[in-house]
Amino acid sequence: MSLFDNNDPFEEIVREFFGENQRQISRPQDFIQGEEDERNIDFIEDNDYLYLIFELFGYNEKDIIVNVKGQELEIIARKNSNELEKVQDYLTRKLGNGIDIKKILPKFVSPKNFKHTIKNGILEVIFSKK
């Protein structure tokens, strides 16, 4: 899948410069839906892996739970009340409400074989392709 129309001259330049086998970015309509997802989720794939990148600013590794049940990815982010006391007032409500994300994974990934990391509020979940 390509971001550009195959008849686009720019696409030909990109292919020539980067080669056909480089990482391609695709945004399936069934995964990223709406303006909020578009701003906060990136869906990147290469030949072997699918990379899902989520912006979860204000949360760290101990605040986040990543589960996969069947083909559904679930991400839960919550701050405990002790940590909220140390946060600026205007962020307390937003971080206190937490974040719940549920997404159906594409059929071409192996839901049992994944790993995740979080650094500076960016959660990266990596799935192997089948």
Residue 23 confidence (pLDDT) above 50:
no
Give the distance from CA 120 to its chain's centroid: 14
| Two structure tokens written together for 76 | 């839960």
Q: Which residues of 18-32 are buried (b: 16+ CB within 10 A; e: fewer)?
A: eeeeeeeeeeeeebb
* pLDDT one-digit tens code per residue, 93-115: 777 788 899 998 988 899 988 99
In this prediction, residues 73-93 reach a mean pLDDT of 79
| Adjacency order of strands within the sheet including 109-119 | 24-25, 41-45, 49-55, 122-129, 109-119
Report DSSP state, residue 67. E
Residue 123 confidence (pLDDT) above 90:
yes
Q: How many Å apart are CA 4 and CA 22, to the nearest integer? A: 14
Listed in sequence order, the residues at least 6 apart from 127 whose beta carbon sits closer than 8 Å to its beta carbon are 49, 50, 52, 105, 109, 110, 111, 113, 114
Residue 26 confidence (pLDDT) above 50:
no
pLDDT of the residue at 92: 74
Give the pTM: 0.67
pLDDT: is 76 or 9 the higher one? 76
pLDDT: is 11 or 113 the higher one? 113
| Two structure tokens written together for 71 | 């083909």
* pLDDT one-digit tens code per residue, 33-77: 555 555 578 888 899 999 999 999 888 899 999 999 999 999 999
Annotated domain spans of the chain:
9-129
Domain 9-129 fold? Immunoglobulin-like (2.60.40)
